[in-house]
Amino acid sequence: MEMTSSQYISTRGGIEPVNFADAVMMGLATDGGLLVPARIPKVSQATLEVWKTLSYPELALEVMKPFVGDAIPADELKALVDASYATFDTKEVVPVKPMGDSGLFVAELYHGPTLAFKDVALQFLGNLFAAILKRRGGRLNILGATSGDTGSAAIHGVRGKDGIEIFIMYPEGRVSPLQERQMATVPDPNVHCIAIEGTFDDGQRVLKEIFNDLPFKSSMHLGAVNSVNWARILAQVVYYFWGSFRVQEALGKEIPLQVCVPTGNFGDIFAGYVAQKMGAPVKRLLLATNENDILSRFFNTGVYTRGDVHPTLSPSMDIQVASNFERYLYYRVGEDAAKVKALMEAFKQGTPICLEGQDTDFAAGRGDTAMTLATIKKYWEFYQVLLDPHGAVGVAVAEANPLEGTATLCLETAHPGKFPAAIGQALGDESLATHPALEALKELPLRKTILKPELPVIEAFMTQEVKA
């Protein structure tokens, strides 16, 4: 019997297929792999024509339906989607605009409650968790690791929700002050912020260790909000269709797109890969990294090998081990779960992953600090477009990698107001980077606990807080 897009399997092949609701609650697969749909559905041209006419929430519902199946009734799914995007400050949810007369377009992914693209997925995931718990009963303890924006978006997705506690680890001193304030000033008692003594990669490592401690995971009813959770990826697939349609509409022609994605953890761009496989008019995905360039090096050399983490102006991308890379690897090696398992286990022991051949669906480039600052300055002075440092990395790489016969859409992943120091460095005036919601945080007290990124330390803290 052929499996469907609403059934989920592990990239390492060690679990029986599960439905969408079980996949959401499982987070990381119990065999240490990541969950992927058993089949990615293909969308017909006739369906794409209908989708072009839909509002953002209507499009999200249609994109999600085949992946959800009967795990959630259609009317309930619609209510979840509508509630999730009602929190955004614009009816469009994701405005798509030309960047002056530069020839590039930008998708503004920062109109949610925490002013970052993570809200697009985490407002939905928070409501999804609450809905599944309401039906099944029980409690959920969420554990996440963040390099900046995921933590605040996750917290704002579940703060105050019954039956849910959330624990977010972030690297002490390595997120921007405003990013920390968006997390550690939230007063709800179900929110627990853990500032770890180390890098984001240390947080991601201990997170995977804890999820692989199956007795602890089971007894604590652990759930994941990081992009290891398939629902995160699914929600992000939507804006690749939406963005493509809006650019075509602006240009008045059926032109294919190159989409440039600044990324560190590979979740955002993997969503684009899924959209492309479904039939979105995306000819090429252009991956942009900062100095932490494990991913751009891989797509240019075929070798995936970790390096040291370098602090930069775009801290959400200061990552050397991209947790979603394993999902891409699964498709790149022909959906051979045994091969994925062997490659990932060897990589954990320090062996680089080396793949032959070029994937023409991708190109990649690196935007360093000098390029980031120059791009912020250029786009403000020439086009009156204020880019955050992550978006600027993407635009710098997009300028260097045009693709003939396409239009290029750049994803702007955070509001520049979250990074006043970087804007000030580029333009000589921090006051250009403001937002009322961020200004309101500056006088609030921080609620955080500083801990070592070690499995027994984090597990003991979580156990103590849950009992309390």
Cα 178 to Cα 57, 138, 175, 423, 437, distances in angstroms: 29, 34, 8, 14, 11
Q: What is the pLDDT of residue 1?
A: 60
Residue 454, in any domain of the structure = no
Residue 276, in any domain of the structure = yes
Residue 426, in any domain of the structure = yes
Rounded CA-CA distance 31/282 in Å is: 33
Residue 167, in any domain of the structure = no
Q: What is the pLDDT of residue 320?
A: 86
What angle, rounded to 10 degrees, do the helices at 56-68 and 230-251 form? Answer: 140
Q: H or E element: which one contains 466?
A: helix 455-467
Out of 42, 97, 118, 253, which one is annotated catalytic? 118
Rounded CA-CA distance 156/179 in Å is: 13
Neighbouring C-beta atoms of residue 49, cutoff 10 Å: 10
CB 426 within 8 Å of CB 377: yes
Q: What is the pLDDT of residue 228?
A: 87
Q: What is the pLDDT of residue 25?
A: 92
Percentages (nearest 5) of helix, strand, coil residues in the chain: 45, 15, 35
Greatest Cα-to-Cα distance within the chain, rounded to the nearest angstrom: 63
CB 284 within 8 Å of CB 339: no
Determine the Cα angle at 60 with ends 57 and 61, to 5°: 90
CB 425 within 8 Å of CB 435: no
Tell me the one-letter amino acid at 318.
D
Residue 371, in any domain of the structure = yes
Residue 57, in any domain of the structure = no
The helix/strand/coil state of 144 is strand
Residue 412, in any domain of the structure = yes
CB 299 within 8 Å of CB 360: no
Rounded CA-CA distance 313/156 in Å is: 24
Residue 225, in any domain of the structure = no
Domain that includes residue 351, residue range:
96-115+231-438
Rounded CA-CA distance 185/188 in Å is: 9
Number of domains in the chain: 1
CATH number, domain at 269?
3.40.50.1100
65 given a catalytic annotation: no
Q: What is the pLDDT of residue 389?
A: 96
CB 207 within 8 Å of CB 126: no
Strand segments (E) across 256-404: 257-262, 282-289, 303-304, 353-354, 362-366
CB 85 within 8 Å of CB 56: yes
Strand partners, 289: 366
Q: What is the pLDDT of residue 307?
A: 86
Neighbouring C-beta atoms of residue 351, cutoff 10 Å: 12
Q: What is the pLDDT of residue 224?
A: 85
What pLDDT tens digit does each residue of the chain (468 aa) get?
678 999 999 999 999 999 999 999 998 899 999 999 999 999 999 999 999 999 999 999 999 999 999 999 999 999 999 999 999 999 999 999 999 999 999 999 999 999 999 999 999 999 999 999 999 998 999 999 987 778 899 999 999 999 999 999 999 998 888 889 999 999 999 999 999 999 988 998 999 899 999 999 999 999 888 888 999 999 999 999 999 999 999 999 999 999 999 999 899 999 999 999 999 999 999 999 999 999 999 999 999 998 888 889 998 888 888 989 999 999 999 999 999 999 999 999 999 999 999 899 999 999 999 999 999 999 999 999 999 999 999 999 999 999 999 999 999 999 999 999 999 999 999 999 999 999 999 889 999 999 999 999 999 999 999 998
Q: What is the pLDDT of residue 442?
A: 87
